Amino acid sequence: MSKFFTKAALVIAIMAIALPVALFASGGGEKAGGGAGAKYAIVFKNTGNPYGDKQMGGFKAGIEEQGFTAILQAPAQPTAEAQIQILESLISQKVAAICIVGNDFDALQPVLTKAKNAGIKVFSLDSSVNPASRLTHVNQADSEKIGRTLVEAAFDMAKGSGDIAILSATSQASNQNLWIDYMKKELALPKYASLKLVKIAYGDDLRDKSVSEAEGLLASFPNLKVIIAPTTVGIAAAGKVITDKGLIGKVLITGLGLPSEMASYIESGACPYMFLWNPIDVGYLGAYVGVALVQGKITGAVGDKFKAGRLGDYTITKAPDGGTEVLLGPPFKFDAKNIADWKTVY
């Protein structure tokens, strides 16, 4: 987001433009349908992210095997403004459901409210939007566990003391921000008194920016021991920088990475271990949540149950933000012992 606008100003500006349109649409607009030709859309954060491609691929497979049409979209830049344009167009196309991977927790609320008023079932996946903007959220794994586990990994790799840094996605990404909040809570425990978080850098899930932010961390903090990157783009960028600079073993990396992109860094020792879930399954689960919402099998309320194709049975639970969510399952740890088995899977 532009440095010249505060988040509050952005929300007000968007509401000023979108609210009258939303009221007009709800006053007589045709409702989106869920019949045989129904279209289900997923909007990822930005293009050029292999993780996002796999997640959208899983969504497409899940929608098509239920007999519907999937629309996969992502803006070039990971901003709320760019997603708003795509969302406006999906509302005009009268899609049955929108699965949003939010670039901002609050800023999409006016346009998502407009979608809801047009009869579209709106839910988030991977990176949540606020509870008022969604019926439920498809969460890849327990957010608290992800944050706390990554700090435990950094503690282990730093042998209990020294400087650590976080290389995140955008400063507005709600999934990364929630994980970072839990990292800070974990770091506040007495056990971590000798571990110092020196900086949180933002590579915006753009490869070049993530590389330059990783280089910046190494230049500014020569005693850095561990970089935690809770983003697949960031951790791969950190792996490349550590390798190119000959720092394998001196600065260790951990976080959330795609096995296909991280295998060489795990095999070289640059990344002793990292975590992730199956992004294809996250998207596939989202496809089943979307169809269940449109067909009225669930409303997104706590206790709602549904079957997600080959993944089996799921129940909607309460989310930490006060809304509801569906949890895919526990994250998986990748290390030198198992990476060869996974690098061709995702």
Note whether 232 binds ligand RAM by CB under 6 A.
yes
Note whether 49 binds ligand RAM by CB under 6 A.
yes
- What whole-number distance in Å separates Cα of residue 280 and Cα of residue 344? 13
- Is 263 in a helix, a strand, or coil? helix
| In the complex, minimum distance from the CB of residue 58 to ligand RAM, in angstroms, rounded to a whole number | 13
| In the complex, minimum distance from the CB of residue 179 to ligand RAM, in angstroms, rounded to a whole number | 9
- What whole-number distance in Å separates Cα of residue 18 and Cα of residue 30? 18
Please, which residue, 34 or 234, has the CB nearer to ligand RAM?
234
Note whether 167 binds ligand RAM by CB under 6 A.
no
Exposure class string for 131-168: b at 16+ Cβ within 10 A, else e = bebbbbbbbbbbbeebbbbbbebbbebbeeebbbbbbb
| In the complex, minimum distance from the CB of residue 321 to ligand RAM, in angstroms, rounded to a whole number | 16
Write down the H helix ranges in the chain: 7-26, 50-64, 80-92, 109-117, 143-157, 174-187, 207-220, 232-244, 259-268, 279-294, 339-342
Spatial contact of 231 and 255, defined as CB atoms under 8 Å apart: yes
- What whole-number distance in Å separates Cα of residue 13 and Cα of residue 20? 12
| In the complex, minimum distance from the CB of residue 52 to ligand RAM, in angstroms, rounded to a whole number | 6
- Choose, by CB under 6 A, the member of 43, 158, 169, 285 that binds ligand RAM: 169
| Token code pair at residue 198 | 């020196």
Residues between 88 and 147 that touch ligand RAM (CB under 6 A): 126-127
| In the complex, minimum distance from the CB of residue 331 to ligand RAM, in angstroms, rounded to a whole number | 10
Please, which residue, 119 or 203, has the CB nearer to ligand RAM?
203
Total site size for ligand RAM, rule CB under 6 A: 13
Spatial contact of 26 and 118, defined as CB atoms under 8 Å apart: yes
> Segment near ligand RAM (CB under 6 A), from 35-43, 158-166, 212-220, 228-236?
228-236
Note whether 231 binds ligand RAM by CB under 6 A.
yes
Residues between 277 and 296 that touch ligand RAM (CB under 6 A): none
Q: Which residue lies nearest ligand RAM, judged by its C-beta? A: 51
Contact residues for ligand RAM, defined by CB under 6 A: 45, 49, 51, 126-127, 169, 173, 175, 205, 231-233, 256
